[in-house]
A = this chain, B = another copy of it.
Amino acid sequence: MAQLRLGISGLGRGAMLTVPGLAANARIELVAGFDPSREPRLGLRRAYGVRAYESFEDLIAHPGLDAVYIASPHGHHASQAIAAARAGKHVLVEKPMAVSIAEARAMADAAAESGTCLMVGPSHGFDGPVSLAADIIASGNIGRARMIQAFNYTDFLLRPRRPEELDRERGGGVVLSQATHQIDIVRRLAGSKVRSIRAQLFDWDTERPADGAFSAFLFFENGATATLGYSGYAHYDSDALLGWIGEMGRPKARETHARARSRLAGTDEAAQKQARGFAGPASNTAEPPVAHEHFGFVLASCEQADVELTTSGVILHGDTSREELAAPLPETRRTNIGEAFAACVLDGEAPIFDGAWGLHTLACCHAILRSGDEGREVMLDEIVSESH
């Protein structure tokens, strides 16, 4: 069986959540890692018995390496992805693809020039119920998607953070990190690119200044629309609408948000954050999912039915019936990401979430930021053409 020898760049929380779904793939062999800190490097060896380097360059030079999964901080995505592509390595890069559109374009260009795969993810656009809903809508059996809504009320801003995660200029705040999920989801459901966006940004916690919440209205090229709502301020918890299953598909305590501020008080946030990755206890993402990962409430109104996303699949609310459809639940989380990446590298199958997809989603994030700043509707063309 053909093998894809994979390296992991950045052994934090993102890698912790996604590496199991990559390593579980029979065609992928995890061969090395990179992290500037010692603890995560030791954690990777503990978990997978492979070496982690102290520099990205050393990882790329690892003998026989075919591809790299870039899960480093947002600001490093572009330079690492471009260096990897130039060295002939395929790239799976965490969302957001990059901080700026110019960076994203350079990444896509570098992959095109070297003929390597560039896949962006994993966002919740990969979740099983999203795929199932997108397939049902694409079948045409329930008419066109017209009015979509997606909202999520989380504790994002009150989790342990590194300083740059709260700084918009360095890709921080809830837009690049969190709107990306919602944009990927609604793009899949609408089956169209976005033409324009009207949005509002909120930064209302004086103790923790950052883009902490937003509303956005997306107008798709095919006439569909989506309204997005997001708050990371740990007040209301929209997991109440999903049977108290959390974002990662595991049961969740109802007190999570009410405890967020006391959990954070007086702690070393950077150390806490690191401990949620490979530096921490290996068990913290090892439990198998009992339900699908999700990103809050999502409902797509089509001409002949509304499609409600749940943590087990979808509910089709049709003209005369209500039908529950299950999406297959993998034994290991995110195996579909490993499958899609292996299919790209080994079989030449173009992924849904390729560089062009990631660039458009990032452009939507920037349109949200600009619309909020300037109080006007922003065309996607305007965002994309400026970066040329």
List residues of A whose CB falls within 8 A of some B CB. 143-144, 146-147, 149, 151, 153, 198, 200, 202, 204-205, 213, 215, 217, 219, 225, 227, 229, 231, 233-237, 241, 254-255, 257-259, 261-262, 299, 301, 303, 305-306, 308, 317-322, 375-377
Is B143 touching A301 in the complex (CB atoms < 8 A)?
Answer: no
- Indicate which residue in B143, B213, B299 contacts A204 across the interface (CB closer than 8 Å): B143
Report B-chain residues with C-beta under 8 Å of the C-beta of A234: 319
A219 to chain B, nearest CB (A): 7
- 9 sampled A-B residue pairs with Cβ under 8 A: A147-B202, A200-B219, A205-B303, A231-B301, A234-B319, A235-B318, A258-B317, A262-B320, A377-B377
Is A217 touching B215 in the complex (CB atoms < 8 A)?
Answer: yes
- Indicate which residue in B153, B204, B319 contacts A146 across the interface (CB closer than 8 Å): B204
Tallying the copies of this chain within the complex gives: 2
The distance in angstroms between the C-alpha atoms of A215 and B227, with both chains bound, is 8
Report B-chain residues with C-beta under 8 Å of the C-beta of A147: 200, 202, 213, 215, 229, 231
* A254, A257, A262: most-surrounded residue (chain B CB, <10 A): A257
**Residue on B nearest A148 in the bound complex, by CB:** B215
Report B-chain residues with C-beta under 8 Å of the C-beta of A235: 301, 305-306, 317-319
A233 to chain B, nearest CB (A): 7
- Indicate which residue in B149, B219, B305, B322 contacts A229 across the interface (CB closer than 8 Å): B149
Is B317 touching A237 in the complex (CB atoms < 8 A)?
Answer: yes
> 15 more A-B contacts (CB under 8 A) besides A257-B317, A377-B377?
A143-B204, A146-B204, A147-B200, A147-B231, A149-B229, A153-B301, A198-B198, A198-B377, A219-B375, A233-B301, A235-B319, A236-B301, A237-B317, A261-B319, A376-B377
Report B-chain residues with C-beta under 8 Å of the C-beta of A151: 149
* A236, A237, A375: most-surrounded residue (chain B CB, <10 A): A236
The distance in angstroms between the C-alpha atoms of A123 and B319, with both chains bound, is 28
Is A303 touching B204 in the complex (CB atoms < 8 A)?
Answer: yes
The distance in angstroms between the C-alpha atoms of A320 and B255, with both chains bound, is 9
The distance in angstroms between the C-alpha atoms of A259 and B382, with both chains bound, is 47
A4 to chain B, nearest CB (A): 42
- Please judge, given known A-B contacts A200-B225, A204-B143, whether A236 and B308 are in contact too, CB under 8 Å: yes
The distance in angstroms between the C-alpha atoms of A306 and B205, with both chains bound, is 13
The distance in angstroms between the C-alpha atoms of A241 and B297, with both chains bound, is 11
A323 to chain B, nearest CB (A): 10
**Residue on B nearest A223 in the bound complex, by CB:** B200
Report B-chain residues with C-beta under 8 Å of the C-beta of A320: 258-259, 261-262
A277 to chain B, nearest CB (A): 28
Report B-chain residues with C-beta under 8 Å of the C-beta of A225: 200, 215
The distance in angstroms between the C-alpha atoms of A237 and B306, with both chains bound, is 9
The distance in angstroms between the C-alpha atoms of A67 and B299, with both chains bound, is 45
